[in-house]
Structures are given as C-alpha cells and as structure tokens.
C-alpha cells in the first residue's frame, strides 16, 4: 500500500488541476487497450469507451515521482513527528469504537488467521482512520494517470491498471464507480488492485468482497493478507518487535547493511554486535530496526511478525506506527470492555 498521509492536504488542490490531456497519451493507451483485449478477451470498443471517460490528473504524478536521493547513504527520517501524525487521541478513540462495533468479526479473524485484533486495528487506523479517509479519486483516473505519466513506476501502475480492469469484471462492478487514493489504493484497508484480487475475502458471506463500506470484509481481508502475503505469514503468539542496543557505529552499519528480511538469527546478529537482552531464543530470526527519535537513533529487533507488517508498506516508520497504535488502542479497549 502507498502512504496516504499527504492526501488530506492535496485533495482540494488536485480537483482544480485535473485536466484532460488524453490525446497526448492516446497512442500508448490504445496499445494498452489492444493488449488487454488480446490477453484477457476484453471487448476493445468497450475499453475504448471506458478510457474516453477517464480524466488524467497530472498533479498526481508529482506525488509519485519524487526525486531520488543521489547518494547511497541511508537517510533516516525523523520518527517522532511521523508518530505524532498517527498516534493521536482521535485515532485511538476511533479505533476503540471500531473494535467495539466489530468485535465479533475481529474475534473470527483471530481464530481463523491468528492475527490479534489490535494489529488489524493498527493497520486500518493508519491507512484510513477506519474508513474516514479512503480517498475520493476514481481508481480508473488515478491508475490511468500514473500508468501513462509516471516516469519511474509506469510498469508497476500499468500492471495495477490491468489488475483493476480484471477486478471490476470479476466483481461485476462499474470501473468508474470504484474509488481510491491518488495511487489507486482502495477502501478501508487501501488495497491495490493486485492485493484485492489475491487477498480480499468475503468475510460476512453476502457474496461480495466489499472493502469500501463493509468493515467485516475489510477485517477478514486484512487478516488474510497478513497471514498469506508471500512466504511470510503472521505467526500467532510470536513477538513483533523489542528494544535493543548497538553501541558502536561500525556494528550498526554492518547490521543495517544486511538484507532487509528476517533471515538472520539473533545469534548471528549478536555476533555482529547486536546487544539484545530479551527472553527470546537465540535461533529466532530478526532484523535490526533503527529510528531517529527525538533523543537520538534508537534500535530494535524486528521479528518476522514485524516484517509481515512491512509487507503492507515497506517502511520501518509505517510498521512501527501500526504497532504502537495497536498497543495504545488495545490498552484503552481492554480498560473499557
């Protein structure tokens, strides 16, 4: 999923800037339409009709193609201001209410997939404040804009556009009626079309996979995603993340240069200079997590379950925000219910 933080500020601006520069991309779009017709037996005329109703939103591209940093050095962005955006009293309260209203679906998700309710609460809270900010773009507009204007990620968005057309056909939905973020992330859990097709589920048995307005389907879909996304699935009862220390810079650099995947044991990480005192067996797999706090750089060991959260959005700050929001919501929920 793609972070939607900036969405709030930019929605108004983008509405003003939308323009139809359809002609400029028409050749490329026509090629794409032919490809879809050949590959998936779409009706070429219907697709042409559909794309003629699409509005290209140029300003979306600026949000996606950010200048790349020229050096290879990792630059740590400040964590506390990021945290402050997500761990707000309003969001925690909204989470407690959403949990209370959907307690049964969350219980079912925990018994079926092993995902603790608070982790699902953390994700839906960070993504959309439980449906409050799902994004007001037509997914067709957003994905077409990006697929034919993004310089860095056009292939990714063309693939997602293809997935979206298939999704609309499979779900019997009008592609122009489905809404999402500026990047095409949809509904309460902000699933991209490919994630929707692979992981969204009908969790209330009404025959539809509705992540736009149905909290039960959303909860089941997020749980299914966390359990089954590639090789790493959530392991019930296993730790998520624990504080650690690294006292010299060389050791920190070595540990952070390791592949970002929990494939090294605590034993190996300790041999490389990690100081970890938690009551966790040495053969447990982990990755070193660093965040730039107000006090300075602090370290944690992220366990495979932490890595699972980063599969939703590949960012330490994102996964930590989900985890900490989850803890806060759980504390208040258990105090009251």
Partner 1 sequence: MKTIKLLSTCLILITTLITCTTAPRTVPPPSTTNTLPSQTTTVEKPAKVTPVVAPTPYVRYSATGSATWYQLADHGLETGSGEIYDLYGKTAAHASLPFGSRVRITHLANDESATVIINDRIQSGGSLIRVSYVVAKELKLLGQSNSQVSVTTLPPLK
Tokens of residue 116, six digits: 């603790």
Q: Which of 244, 255, 309, 325 binds partner 1 (CB under 8 A)?
A: 244
Residue 40: CB minimum distance to partner 1, A: 47
- Whole-number Å distance between alpha carbons of 100 and 94: 10
When asked if residue 331 is in the footprint of partner 1 (CB under 8 A), the reply is: yes
* For partner 1, the closer CB: 259 or 279: 279
Stretch that binds partner 1, among 164-172, 173-181, 199-207, 294-302 (CB under 8 A): 294-302
DSSP readout, 26-74?
Answer: HHHHHHHHHHHHHHH---HHHHHHHHHT----HHHHHHH-PPPPSS-S-
Nearer to partner 1, 157 or 299 (CB): 299
Q: Which of 300, 306, 312, 318 binds partner 1 (CB under 8 A)?
A: 300
Kindly state the smallest distance separating residue 86's Cβ from partner 1, in Å.
12
Q: Are 221 and 203 in contact (CB under 8 A)?
A: yes
Known active-site residue 127 = yes
Q: Which stretch binds partner 1 (CB under 8 A): 37-45, 120-128, 193-201, 275-283?
A: 275-283
CB of 239 vs partner 1, minimal distance in Å: 10
Interface with partner 1 (CB under 8 A), residue from 43, 243, 270, 282: 243
277 binding partner 1? (CB under 8 A): yes
Instruction: Report if residue 30 touches partner 1, rule: CB under 8 A.
Output: no
**Binding of partner 1 at residue 263 (CB under 8 A)?**
no
SS3 label, residue 275:
strand
Which of 127, 162, 163, 328 is the catalytic position? Answer: 127
Starting at the edge strand found earlier in the chain, the sheet holding 296-302 runs 241-244, 296-302, 285-293, 264-265
Q: Which is nearer to partner 1, 185 or 244 (CB)?
A: 244
According to the binding rule CB under 8 A, does residue 279 interact with partner 1? yes
**Residue 86 touching partner 1 (CB under 8 A):** no
* Torsion angle of the four alpha carbons 276, 328, 104, 228, in this order, in degrees rounded to the nearest 10: -40
∠ CA(53), CA(57), CA(60), 5° rounding? 145
**Does residue 245 bind partner 1 (CB under 8 A)?**
yes
> Are residues 211 and 134 in contact, defined by beta-carbon separation less than 8 angstroms?
no
Output the smallest distance, CB 332 to partner 1, in A. 9
Do the strands 285-293 and 264-265 form a parallel or antiparallel pair, or are they unpaired? Answer: antiparallel
- Alpha helix (H) residue ranges in the chain: 7-17, 22-40, 44-52, 58-64, 80-86, 89-101, 103-113, 117-128, 139-149, 154-170, 193-199, 215-228, 249-257, 266-271, 304-310, 316-336
Residue of 276, 303, 307, 312 interacting with partner 1 (CB under 8 A): 276
Residue 182 lies near partner 1 (rule: CB under 8 A): no
How far, in Å, CA of 189 to CA of 199, rounded?
11
Q: Is 78 in the site for partner 1 (CB under 8 A)?
A: no
List, in sequence order, every residue forming a beta bridge with 296; answer none if it has no partner.
293
Buried b (16+ CB within 10 A) or exposed e, 172-186: eeebeebbbbbbbbb
| Cβ closest to partner 1, residue 259 vs residue 335 | 335
**Per rule CB under 8 A, is residue 242 in the interface with partner 1?**
yes
Active site residues: 127
Residues near partner 1 (CB under 8 A) are 83, 242-245, 275-279, 293-296, 298-300, 324, 327, 331, 334-335
């Amino acid at each position: 999923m793609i972070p939607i933080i900036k969405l709030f500020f930019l929605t108004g601006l983008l509405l003003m800037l939308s323009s139809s520069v359809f002609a400029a991309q028409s050749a490329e779009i026509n090629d794409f339409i032919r490809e879809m017709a050949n590959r998936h037996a779409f009706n070429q005329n219907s697709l042409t009709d559909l794309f003629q109703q699409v509005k290209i939103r140029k300003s979306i591209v600026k949000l996606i193609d950010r200048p790349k940093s020229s050096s290879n050095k990792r630059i740590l962005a400040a964590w506390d201001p990021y945290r402050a955006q997500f761990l707000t009293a309003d969001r925690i309260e909204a989470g407690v209410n959403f949990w209370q209203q959907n307690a049964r679906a969350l219980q079912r998700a925990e018994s079926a997939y092993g995902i603790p309710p608070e982790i699902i609460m953390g994700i839906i809270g960070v993504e959309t404040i439980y449906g409050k900010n799902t994004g007001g773009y037509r997914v067709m507009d957003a994905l077409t804009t990006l697929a034919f204007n993004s310089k860095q990620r056009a292939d990714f968005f063309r693939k997602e556009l293809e997935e979206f057309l298939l999704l609309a056909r499979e779900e019997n939905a009008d592609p122009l009626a489905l809404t999402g973020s500026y990047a095409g992330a949809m509904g309460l859990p902000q699933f991209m079309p490919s994630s929707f097709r692979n992981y969204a589920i009908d969790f209330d048995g009404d025959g539809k996979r509705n992540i736009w307005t149905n909290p039960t389907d959303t909860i089941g879909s997020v749980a299914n995603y966390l359990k089954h996304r590639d090789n790493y699935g959530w392991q019930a009862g296993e730790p998520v993340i624990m504080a650690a220390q690294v006292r010299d810079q060389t050791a920190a650099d070595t540990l952070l240069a390791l592949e970002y995947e929990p494939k090294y044991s605590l034993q190996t990480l300790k041999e490389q200079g990690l100081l970890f005192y938690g009551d966790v067996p040495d053969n447990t797999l982990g990755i070193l997590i660093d965040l730039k706090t107000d006090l300075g750089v602090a370290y944690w060991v992220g366990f495979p379950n932490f890595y699972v959260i980063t599969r939703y959005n590949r960012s330490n700050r994102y996964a930590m925000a989900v985890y900490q929001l989850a803890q806060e919501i759980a504390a208040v929920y258990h105090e009251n219910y």
